[in-house]
Amino acid sequence: MTITSFIPPHRTLMGPGPSDIYPQVLQALSRPTVGHLDPLFIGMMDELKQLLQYAFQTQNAFTIAISAPGSAGMEACFVNLVEAGDKVLVCRNGVFGERMRENVERCGGVAVVVDNEWGTAVDPDLVEQALQNDPEIKIVAFVHAETSTGALSDAKTLAKIARKHGCLTIVDAVTSLGGVPLLVDEWQLDAVYSGSQKCLSCTPGLSPLTFSQKAIDKIQQRKTKVQSWFLDQSLVLGYWSGEGKRSYHHTAPVNSLYALHEALVLLQNEGLENAWQRHRNAHEELKAGLEKLGIKFVVEEMSRLPQLNAVYIPEGVDDAEVRNELLQRYNLEIGAGLGALAGKAWRIGLMGYGARSENVALCLKALETTLK
């Protein structure tokens, strides 16, 4: 058997991620590779930090991109901030809250879980009550934008409650960064991680991350070594320290970082508030069309995430058959339901470059035709 080059079809990606990549970002990937300690590359990394600070709306000195996907960004937060015996309040309202709980336990921490119904935001009152009941809790962990359900939680309020009880926050912003307001400094969030492949419309495989000074202080006061060598941020810090101070840690994914730099330049040029509004506008167009088709949303309007739309599959419709038809006939990908919503819902993404009227029109027409 002779294996030939892999040439994928041109899909329109409207699932839970990855999203359609900007053409400029694809071009950036093909630029000549330089060494990861080359002075020019180091200069680009310093620009990348500034661009990430803008995207996160933070002045945190420790704002970087981890050379691995968002799941590694999540793990980096937990392995650095949680030591054996530490109590962590985990707010679980979907798949990714459960992954947080799993991380806490693998670090030897004690997870105190607050459960919220799938498709709803995290309830601040339940968080307040749990912290009142257990003053030993040191960290509050929650998902800002729950990708499995399309629910958006109130990060500002949750962080305020955590601070009142002397707790740090770990925040999953994988699907929120660049798509909805995320104000790290104003809301005083401590450890926030995201992914390159959602609303930034970059290649998958990088995890933007920012730590507050309080989070850095906790890392520096650890009594034990971080259990992961690769994700130990006290070691990575030396690699992102700037010209003349940079120490070798690992071979960075050079071309992927070119791509993230380009995606963040596009975000900077558009302006954060304009990007947030574009996602909102695309969501409103999709919502109007889905309502005409009689398709209902999983999440109540006030907690609904514009860039990740979870909708109930109409009664009598075969989930996999419809998604396969969309893929084969229209080269259009929408996502299946996860966890409690498996087989009951579709997840339609409007992220980054994909948050455009032509994508919405294609999705609505393809769904209408296929459902008929």
Model pLDDT for residues 165-212, shown as the tens digit of each residue: 999 999 999 999 999 999 999 999 999 999 999 999 999 999 999 999
Nearest to 259 by CA among 71, 85, 72, 18: 18
92-132 pLDDT per residue, tens:
999 999 999 999 999 999 999 999 999 999 999 999 999 99
- Model confidence pLDDT, tens digit, residues 202-235: 999 999 999 999 999 999 999 999 999 999 998 8
Give the mean pLDDT of 47-58: 98
Coil, strand or helix: which one is 294? coil
Task: Identify whether residues 300 and 365 lie together within a single domain.
Answer: yes
- Is the domain of 258 the same as that of 302? no
Model confidence band, residue 246 (pLDDT cutoffs 50, 70, 90): low
**What is the average per-residue pLDDT within 345-352?**
98
Report pLDDT digits (tens) over 71-88. Answer: 999 999 999 999 999 999
pLDDT at 190: 98
Average pLDDT, the chain: 96
Local confidence band at 264 (pLDDT 50, 70, 90 cut-offs): very high
> Residue 6 falls within a domain, yes or no?
no
User: Which pLDDT does position 249 carry in this prediction?
Assistant: 84
| Domain end residue (candidates: 236, 268, 300) | 268
291 and 233 together in one domain: no
Give how many domains the chain has, as a whole number: 2
pLDDT at 234: 85
For residues 245 and 333, state if they share a domain. Answer: no
Residue 293, CA distances (Å) to 114, 147, 318 in order: 36, 23, 16
By the 8 A CB rule, do 172 and 148 touch? no
Instruction: Quote the CA–CA distance of 226 and 247 in Å, as a whole number.
Output: 19
Final residue of a structural domain among 234, 268, 302: 268
Give me the pLDDT at residue 248, please. 77
pLDDT of 265 > 60? The answer is: yes
Can you read off the two tokens belonging to residue 56? 């996160």
By the 8 A CB rule, do 194 and 17 touch?
no
From the list 252, 272, 250, the residue with the least C-alpha distance to 260 is 252
Euclidean distance between CA atoms 222 and 226, whole angstroms: 8
Q: Could you give the angle at which helices 213-220 and 70-81 cross, rounded to 10 degrees?
A: 60
How far apart, in whole angstroms, are the C-alpha atoms of residue 270 and residue 319?
36
* CATH code at position 131: 3.40.640.10
The CATH number that applies at residue 317 is: 3.90.1150.10
Alpha carbons 240 and 225: distance in angstroms, whole number? 20
Looking at the structure, tell me whether residues 211 and 330 fall in a common domain.
Answer: no
Question: What's the CA gap between 367 and 290, in Å, rounded?
Answer: 9
260 and 279 both lie in a single domain: no
pLDDT at 242: 54
Are 215 and 305 in the same domain?
Answer: no
> What is the span of the domain harbouring residue 354?
12-18+272-371
Both 169 and 211 in one domain: the answer is yes
Q: Based on the domain organization, do 37 and 147 belong to the same domain?
A: yes
Same domain, 209 and 351: no
Same domain assignment for residues 32 and 119: yes
